[in-house]
Each structure stands twice: as structure tokens, then as C-alpha cells.
């Protein structure tokens, strides 16, 4: 048991969520922006703030951490100590726990309970005012905190910069997928508006391929990932532009290859990995669909069977049957077509117009990644749970 030596993976820690690679693919502009923003801190001991914004998996967290670590090393080289505190607000979503984390940086034994948020904010302020080393606080996924907070901790920290008697500056880096200005009071919003926002765009296919390639070089034994495998990873994650997805695909595919003892990662391993990940990603998309669109998706999945694509008319027939089965009135052709287009907009299906033999044109529909059987049973499960109890409600 377990005795088999690994033949693919060299260092699994390189796949861990908080691993920060030395080199980041195409984030030089963002690193440069941060350097410009933080130059006053390094050179004149001044407070600097930044706001990092962009969609899921675009490297916001990893860039902030890489930058702060590099800045700390640079400062250390010049005999200047710098403190960095990183807090993820999704795991610490109350003001209380953010403040507690900050206080504990200065006072490890500070008790978890027994003090009000206001008391704790005062204690924290004292620590920050007295602190002798420049401090950078990274508040990641800060929108989660801002949606809930009562005492505005960010406001309080930014106000500290007005206090000229304190020995060292306190800077903040905020990170969020969405804009946060409307969630802050006017004064704090204007502080962060004044600093340039650092934007992160979705990765291109080529960037995703390079990210997967570099991570494979770090985490896997040499020669275990061929060009086609990297192409397949890039193709499969391109729709999302999400580096986390590319890396997860690589990791899962490598694990599958390891289990199968095939000697190297194969394209088929990547497809299987994608089917696993895609079902998680798509679950929430499917969940968000209304009844008619769920029925449309179920019909397409059932009609698909072993085919790569089917004419839309075939799906429309299964749709009528599904509606009957679930006792929902079937909509007319135009409406059904509208549902299919809506499904395409959220990336659950793809349509293509092709010319048929007799000079006419047919529209075909396909499922990009998820196996049709898996999809059909997932949607059917959701419909079942959505529709159970419906009769009870109708009778009320
Ligand atoms: N440019 C890059 N080069 C190498 N690895 C990267 C790069 N960008 C992101 N990654 C890797 O991709 C994963 C996701 O990146 P990260 O966590 O920074 O995304 P994020 O923008 O913070 O996403 P979220 O909004 O979900 O928090 C991490 O494993 C990270 O190491
Ligand atoms: Mg992040």
C-alpha cells in the first residue's frame, strides 16, 4: 500500500493555494504600478495605499504577495525592516475578526472574547500609532468585509496617516473582484480613488498556457507534460481566463496520470480533469437558471447522447417530452430558441449555423465540456428538488 514511487509529480506543494511563484507570467505592468505607488514608502517613509481589482483567478492575491515580499527583501537590503500583514476577509468576514487578527500581530495573547469592537479598535489604534516599523496591511476579498462592517476599520487606519507624531506609516492594499467605492464612506472612498487602481484582466489563452507550463516545470518531473497537453489546458481554461483553473486542471490531470501509471500526463487526463472541475463551476450557473431554461438544458443534454452536436429541432422534440414529464406547459419555437440563446450566453451550450445539403441552413447545438449524461442527471436532480412540494404550494 502506498509504496509506489511517484512517476509524475515532483513537488505537490507547488500546487498549494498559497504558493507564490518567484516569476509571475505577464504581471510586470501591475508589479510596476505597485512599485510606483509604493515608492514614497520605501524612499520617504510615507503612507501608501493601493486597490487591486479584477475578475476571478487573474493573479490579484499572488501579485500582492509577490510584490510585498519583494519590497520587504529590497528594504531589508537597505537596512529597513518592513512588516506585512495579510488577511483574507472571506475567512475573517467580521470586523471583529479582522481587528483581532491585526491586534494579535502585535500582542499574541490578546483574548478572543470579552471586548467590544469599539474597545478592540481603540487597542489596535494604540498599537498602530506606537508601531516603529512601517506596516503594510493587505485586506484580500475586502468586499466581503465591507458588505458587513459596522465600525469602519479601513477608515480608521487611513485616518492614522494624518497623525504625524507616530513613528512609522501604516499602508493598506485592498483587493476585490468588484468595485468597492460605493461600499465605503465618502472620505475613505476618496482616499482610495486618489491612488491609482491597479487593474487585472482575464488571462489570454497564451498566458494561461505559459502559466501551466511554468507551474508544470516546478511541480512535475521533467518531460511529463507535452505541448498538446498544455494546448488542451489552455483551450479548456480560456473561456474563464482564470489561472487557478489552468493550474487546477494541471494538478488534477497529473494526479490522474499518476494513478493510471501512464508515465506522462495525457490530453485525455486533462479532459477528465476538466469534466470534474467543470461540473463544480457549472453547478452554480445551472442553479441560477429558471424552470424553463433548466428544462431546455435537460432536453439538450438528453438528446445529445453520443453525438458531438445535434440539430436544434432534435432538442426541441425532447424539450416537449421533458415538459410533459414535469407537467410544465411547453413554450413555442421562438421562445425555446430564446432559451437556447440564453444558455449559450452563460456558456452552458454552444450553437452553430451550418448549411444543410438542400441549400437550407440548420442550427446545431453542442455541449462544450461536460459529458451529456452527467449534465442530464444533474439538471434532473435540480428539477426534482425544485419541483417537490410544488403541489402543496399550489393548494394553499
Ligand atoms: N501571472 C501568474 N503567473 C503564475 N501563476 C499565477 C499567475 N496568476 C495567477 N497565478 C496562480 O493562479 C492561481 C490564482 O491566482 P490568485 O489567487 O492570485 O487569483 P485572484 O485574482 O486572487 O483570484 P480570486 O479573485 O478568486 O481571489 C494561484 O495559484 C496563482 O499562484
Ligand atoms: Mg485572491
pTM over cut 0.85: no
Q: What is the pLDDT of residue 393?
A: 42
352 burial via Cβ count (<10 Å: 0-12, 13-18, 19+): exposed
Q: What is the pLDDT of residue 83?
A: 94
The protein residue with its alpha carbon nearest to ligand 1, atom 7, reads: 59
Nearest ligand, measured from the Cα of 243:
1
Ligand 1 mutation pick, 53, 144, 243, 281, max ligand atoms within 8 A of CB = 243
Q: How many CB atoms lie within 10 A of CB 194?
A: 8
Asked if 98 and 139 count as a contact pair (C-beta separation under 8 A), the reply is yes
For residue 58, give the ligand 1 atom closest to its CA. Answer: 21
Q: Which residues, listed in sequence order, are joined to residue 306 by a DSSP beta bridge?
A: none
Asked if 139 and 97 count as a contact pair (C-beta separation under 8 A), the reply is no
Q: What is the pLDDT of residue 392?
A: 44
Strand ranges for the chain from DSSP E = 49-53, 83-88, 135-140, 170-176, 197-199, 309-311, 350-355, 361-366
For the 28-199 domain, the top CATH level (class) is alpha beta
Provide CB contacts within 8 A for 177, sequence distance 6+.
Answer: 53, 54, 55, 56, 60, 141, 143
What's the number of CA atoms in the CB half-sphere (13 Å) around residue 203?
31
Fold (topology level) of 12-16+204-284: Helicase, Ruva Protein; domain 3 (1.10.8)
Q: What is the pLDDT of residue 187?
A: 84
Q: What is the pLDDT of residue 394?
A: 41
Ligand 2 mean position to 55 CA, how many Å?
9
Pocket of ligand 1 (CB under 6 A): 21, 24-27, 54, 56-62, 177, 211, 243-244, 247
Q: What is the pLDDT of residue 144?
A: 87
Domain boundaries, the chain: 12-16+204-284, 28-199, 289-395
Nearest ligand, measured from the Cα of 18:
1
Ligand 2 mean position to 140 CA, how many Å?
7
Mean pLDDT for each 10-residue chunk of the chain (396 residues)? 77 94 97 96 92 95 98 96 94 88 93 88 89 93 85 82 77 93 87 84 97 98 95 88 94 93 88 77 82 95 82 95 94 95 88 74 80 82 81 42
Ligand 1 mutation pick, 25, 32, 58, 62, max ligand atoms within 8 A of CB = 62
Ligand 1 mean position to 242 CA, how many Å?
8
Ligand 2 mean position to 176 CA, how many Å?
8
3-state secondary structure of 179: coil
Nearest ligand, measured from the Cα of 31:
1
Instruction: In whole angstroms, give the CA distance from residue 205 to residue 297.
Output: 28
Nearest ligand, measured from the Cα of 210:
1
Instruction: In whole angstroms, give the CA distance from residue 160 to residue 166.
Output: 9
Q: What does the block give as the cell for 246?
A: 489552468
Q: Which of 74, 1, 88, 2 is nearest to 31 (CA)?
A: 74
For residue 177, give the ligand 1 atom closest to its CA. Answer: 25
Distances (CA, A) of 336 to 293, 320, 332, 342: 9, 10, 6, 10
Ligand 1 mean position to 134 CA, how many Å?
27
List, as one string, the DSSP characters of 238-300: HTTT-HHHHHHHHHHHHHHHHHHT-SS--HHHHHHHHHHHHHHHHHHHHHTS-HHHHHHHHHH
Instruction: In whole angstroms, give the CA distance from residue 154 to residue 150.
Output: 11
Domain 289-395 sits in CATH 3.90.1170.50: no
Ligand 1 mean position to 247 CA, how many Å?
9
Ligand 2 mean position to 202 CA, how many Å?
13
Amino acid at each position: 500500500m502506498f509504496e509506489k514511487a511517484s512517476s509524475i509529480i515532483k513537488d505537490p506543494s507547488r500546487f498549494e493555494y498559497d504558493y507564490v511563484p518567484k516569476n509571475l507570467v505577464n504581471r510586470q505592468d501591475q508589479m510596476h504600478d505597485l512599485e510606483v505607488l509604493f515608492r514614497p514608502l520605501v524612499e520617504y517613509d510615507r503612507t501608501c495605499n493601493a486597490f487591486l481589482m479584477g475578475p476571478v483567478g487573474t493573479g490579484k492575491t499572488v501579485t500582492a504577495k509577490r510584490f510585498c515580499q519583494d519590497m520587504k527583501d529590497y528594504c531589508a537590503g537597505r537596512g529597513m525592516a518592513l512588516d506585512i500583514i495579510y488577511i483574507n476577509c472571506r475567512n475573517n468576514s467580521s470586523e471583529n475578526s479582522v481587528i483581532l487578527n491585526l491586534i494579535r500581530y502585535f500582542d499574541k495573547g490578546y483574548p478572543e472574547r470579552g471586548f467590544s469592537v469599539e474597545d478592540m479598535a481603540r487597542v489596535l489604534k494604540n498599537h498602530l500609532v506606537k508601531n516603529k516599523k512601517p506596516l503594510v496591511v493587505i485586506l484580500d476579498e475586502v468586499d466581503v468585509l465591507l458588505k458587513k462592517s459596522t465600525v469602519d476599520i479601513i477608515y480608521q487606519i487611513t485616518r492614522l496617516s494624518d497623525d504625524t507624531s507616530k513613528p512609522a506609516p501604516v499602508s493598506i492594499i485592498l483587493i476585490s473582484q468588484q468595485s468597492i467605492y460605493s461600499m465605503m464612506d465618502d472620505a475613505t472612498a476618496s482616499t482610495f480613488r486618489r491612488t491609482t487602481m491597479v487593474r487585472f484582466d482575464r488571462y489570454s489563452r497564451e498566458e494561461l498556457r505559459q502559466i501551466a507550463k511554468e507551474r508544470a516545470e516546478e511541480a512535475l518531473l521533467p518531460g511529463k507534460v507535452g505541448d498538446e497537453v498544455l494546448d488542451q489546458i489552455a483551450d479548456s481554461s480560456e473561456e474563464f481566463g482564470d489561472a487557478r483553473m489552468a493550474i487546477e486542471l494541471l494538478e488534477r490531470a497529473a494526479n490522474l496520470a499518476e494513478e493510471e501509471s501512464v508515465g506522462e500526463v495525457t490530453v485525455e487526463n486533462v479532459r477528465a480533469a476538466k469534466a470534474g472541475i467543470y461540473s463544480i463551476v457549472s453547478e452554480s450557473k445551472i442553479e441560477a437558471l429558471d424552470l424553463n431554461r433548466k428544462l431546455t438544458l435537460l432536453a439538450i443534454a438528453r438528446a445529445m447522447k453520443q453525438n458531438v452536436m445535434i440539430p436544434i429541432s432534435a432538442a426541441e422534440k425532447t424539450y416537449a417530452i421533458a415538459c410533459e414529464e414535469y407537467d410544465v406547459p411547453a413554450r413555442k419555437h421562438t421562445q425555446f430558441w430564446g432559451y437556447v440563446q440564453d444558455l449559450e450566453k452563460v456558456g452552458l451550450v454552444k450553437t452553430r449555423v451550418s448549411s444543410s445539403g438542400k441549400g437550407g441552413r440548420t442550427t446545431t447545438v453542442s455541449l462544450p465540456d461536460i459529458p451529456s449524461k452527467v449534465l442530464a442527471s444533474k439538471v434532473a436532480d435540480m428539477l426534482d428538488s425544485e419541483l417537490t412540494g410544488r403541489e402543496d404550494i399550489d393548494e394553499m
